[in-house]
Amino acid sequence: MASLTVRQLDERIKKRLRLRAARNGRSVEDEVRTILRAAGEESGAEAPQPISPPAPQTGRRAEATPAHDVKRVLLIVGGGIAAYKSLDLIRRLKERGIAVRCILTKAAEHFVTPLSAGAIVGERVFTDLFDPAGEFDIGHIRLAREADLIVVAPATADLMAKMAGGHADDLATAVLLATTAKILLAPAMKLGRMAEPLEIAAAVERLLSASTQQTLAGRRVLITSGPTHEPIDPVRYIANRSSGKQGHAIAAAASAAGADVVLVSGPVNLPDPPGVTIVHVETARDMLRAAERALPADVAIFAAAVADWRVANAGAQKIKKKAGQTTPDLSLVENPDILATIAHRKSQRPKLVIGFAAETENVAANAKEKLARKGCDWILANDVSPQTGIMGGNRNTIQLVTPAGIEPWPPQSKDDVAAMLIARIADELDGDKA
């Protein structure tokens, strides 16, 4: 097959392709292949469909996906007020070309009926472990086996407790016990509070693509994340409001894409992302040491909010407050710039060095200046003014600044920013190979 030269497309199409590829967790080249394959199959023989091929929906257009690429989700709806959102979730999944089967627990039937769920799924829904028809034509083992991912939404406390205890006294719990597929839980307790269907659909897409798209396999990625703590004395320190959510999300996305990830993290209240080598540090100087030790790397992403200054005369003992005495005189010295140090290395400079620019004004202009000053290849610029809620929040709005120009990304969750960045990196590294 002839190779694809995406660079010859005009910028507008390339941008749309990149967005679409990122949404689907693929590299741009893979996205083009998928489109071409779908177009080929549309014009050729009708492909056999495994289970409930997704019906075309209004709103976001369902993409034509070849039958063998159709991902299958088994949605288990638990009994809670939030069950009404599961109908919208089915619609959102089908819009994305995902085939959906649905199980309603007995309690769920108090909130949604098999008829309404079945109408949206486009086939019968399953409710009973001992349904003779169900066991004859499908059976709970097949339901468990024929899913790439199981989603429990809403996952009630009762359902989660049964899972934890290994119960299997109804269809939902029997399937959950039997499956070897990944299970995504969307917990909800009382009052219908559950993640929104769109957020769950995005998590489903990520999990489904993570299981197949190893776009960074064989690549080593260094990531810094979180704040640094600069001691004043053994009990006090200077810090900032960084949560580490963006850096950790990037580490998780890189790991899911098959990269060998070293995450150097300042103090955060986040679990270590699965599958990464994590180095916990406190100060900027420790972070620099750990980052240098992690080299060589193909890509380095500096998402940490490193303190610019540290206290020159940090006390070895706790500084005492004494009546009548003047306040302590803290003098500050500049911390090493980790990003600039690594970007300017003569040896072992990663192929792609990526920084962040957290600004409160003139975001793009400052980021362009920073790109040159720090010697990095890309900068992800974001506005962290308090009214944006970005610092510590779950969403982010990025402008990607490269020597070629500025690319505004849509407002999205930090997880989606991470997925988009990883897709973009994979694309860039693939381009290098060509």
Are 298 and 350 spatial neighbours (Cβ–Cβ below 8 Å)? yes
Q: Which is nearer to ligand C5P, 209 or 224 (CB)?
A: 224
Name which of 99 and 357 has its Cβ closer to ligand C5P.
357
Q: From residue 214 to residue 253, what is the string marking binding to ligand C5P with x (rule CB under 6 A)?
A: ----------x-----------------------------
Our finding on whether 304 is near ligand C5P (CB under 6 A) is yes
Of the candidate spans 127-135, 336-344, 407-415, 423-431, the one that interacts with ligand C5P by CB under 6 A turns out to be 336-344
Is residue 284 near ligand C5P by the rule CB under 6 A?
yes
Nearest CA among 294, 286, 289 for reference residue 267: 286
Regarding 126 and contact with ligand C5P (CB under 6 A), the answer is no
As a whole number of angstroms, the distance between CA 108 and CA 380 comes to 44
Does 337 contact ligand C5P by CB under 6 A? Answer: yes
- Do the bridges between strand 412-413 and strand 99-104 make them parallel or antiparallel, or are there none, so unpaired? unpaired
383 forms part of the interface with ligand C5P (CB under 6 A) = no
Which of these ranges, 69-77, 130-138, 148-156, 350-358, lies near ligand C5P under the rule CB under 6 A?
350-358
Q: Count the residues of the shown chain that bind ligand C5P, applying the rule CB under 6 A.
A: 12
Among 99, 103, 257, 338, binds ligand C5P (CB under 6 A): 338
Please identify, among the stretches 72-80, 110-118, 298-306, 315-323, the one whose residues bind ligand C5P according to the rule CB under 6 A.
298-306
Q: How much is the CA Rg of the chain, to the nearest whole Å?
A: 25
Report the residue number, 106 or 373, with the smaller CB distance to ligand C5P.
373
| Residues known to be catalytic | 240
Q: Which of 98, 221, 252, 339 binds ligand C5P (CB under 6 A)?
A: 339
Is 242:226 a contact under the CB 8 Å cutoff?
yes
Quick one: which segment of 62-70, 90-98, 300-308, 418-426 binds ligand C5P (CB under 6 A)? Answer: 300-308
Beta carbon of residue 344, minimum distance to ligand C5P (angstroms, whole number)? 12
Segment interacting with ligand C5P (CB under 6 A) among 17-25, 252-260, 332-340, 391-399: 332-340
Taking CB under 6 A as the rule, does residue 98 contact ligand C5P? Answer: no
Least distance to ligand C5P from the beta carbon of 287, Å?
A: 8
Residue 205 belongs to what H/E stretch?
helix 197-210
Comparing CB distances to ligand C5P, the nearer of 126 and 378 is 378
Query: What's the closest the beta carbon of residue 374 comes to ligand C5P, in angstroms?
Result: 6
State in angstroms the smallest separation of the CB of 231 from ligand C5P.
16
Strand partners, 302: 224, 355
> By CB under 6 A, is residue 355 in contact with ligand C5P?
yes
Residue 335 within binding range of ligand C5P, rule CB under 6 A: yes
Tokens 């402008």, located at residue = 399
Instruction: Note whether 298 and 283 are within 8 A (CB).
Output: no
Residue 126: DSSP 8-state: B
What is the smallest separation between the CB atom of 146 and ligand C5P, expressed in angstroms? 44
Q: Is 111 in the site for ligand C5P (CB under 6 A)?
A: no
Q: Binding ligand C5P by CB under 6 A: which of 302, 350, 382, 414?
A: 302
Select from 238, 245, 242, 246 the least CA-distant residue to 227: 242
Whichever of 121 and 297 has its CB closer to ligand C5P, that residue is 297
In single-letter form, the type of residue at position 42 comes to: E
Q: Determine, following the binding rule CB under 6 A, whether residue 306 of this chain makes contact with ligand C5P.
A: yes
Which residue, 111 or 302, is less far from ligand C5P as judged by CB? 302
* Residues lying near ligand C5P in the complex (CB under 6 A): 224, 284, 302, 304, 306, 335, 337-339, 355-357
